[in-house]
Structure 1
Amino acid sequence: MALLGSGEVTPSILEDRTEEIRQTMLEELGEIAEKNYPRITRRVRYAQDVQGLWYARGDVMAVLAALHGETVAREKVERMSRMFTGLLPAGLNSRPSKLMA
């Protein structure tokens, strides 16, 4: 896998960081989301790898927006997105958006 960033990401580091991202997502979703959006919570909880979590961000954003409003949701998802730095193939990285300016 072509990884970004300086330094090598070992399988152990990848596993640890993947679980850190998963826990952050689940904490941000919280109990209300688990009760009202169980499919999304399960998608995050049982994602097979870091790419699965990356692709779940859109659903997480939608749930967080429903619970907290779009501005707060964007901030939370942006913080989560930064956690993926160095873990994804080059083609999966976020690109700057004119909408965020």
Structure 2
Amino acid sequence: MRWNKDILLSSLHSLLGHGSSRPARLAKGGSAPARLEAVRAAMLAELERAEPVGFEHVMKRLELARDAEALWFLRADLMAALNVLIGDHAAQRSLARITPLFRGLLPASLNSRPSRLG
């Protein structure tokens, strides 16, 4: 299944609360399945923006991931692909936009923590 821009933009807009009278709260509100699809759409959008020639397998894995934990672990594959396609700094910025979308979808043990290596 190939995601088109309209589906991705619609998912992202609904996640961010555009076109809705209620405020967007990532940790609260919205159904878990809808939020999961918004995370998937955001990850796919970042990859598609980089024109993922050679990384179609990463897109397929993102499309087929069954839950938030699977998408969480696919961040590493996404980072690796984006690193090749757009460079390390831009890839890190992309992941920084995506990571907060997982808030409230994962068990506490999988939430990212600040690094002491900063």
TM-score (norm 2): 0.70
Q: Give structure 2 stretches of 5+ with no counterpart.
A: 1-25
Q: Comparing both structures, which one devotes a greater share of its residues to helix?
A: 1
Candidates 67, 70, 90, aligned match of 1:49:
67
Q: What's 2:38 paired with?
A: 20
Candidates 55, 61, 64, aligned match of 1:37:
55
Give 1:19 deviation, angstroms.
0.3
Tell me: higher relative CO, structure 1 or 2? Use CA pairs within 8 A at least 6 residues apart.
1
**4+ residue segments displaced more than 3 Å:** none
Structure 1 residues 1-101: aligned runs within 5 Å: 13-30=31-48, 32-33=51-52, 35-99=53-117, 101=118
Identity, % of aligned pairs? 37
Deviation string, structure 1 residues 47-93 (Cα, Å, up to 9, x no partner): 00111100100000011111111011011101101100111001101
Q: Give structure 1 stretches of 5+ with no counterpart.
A: none
Aligned residues: 92
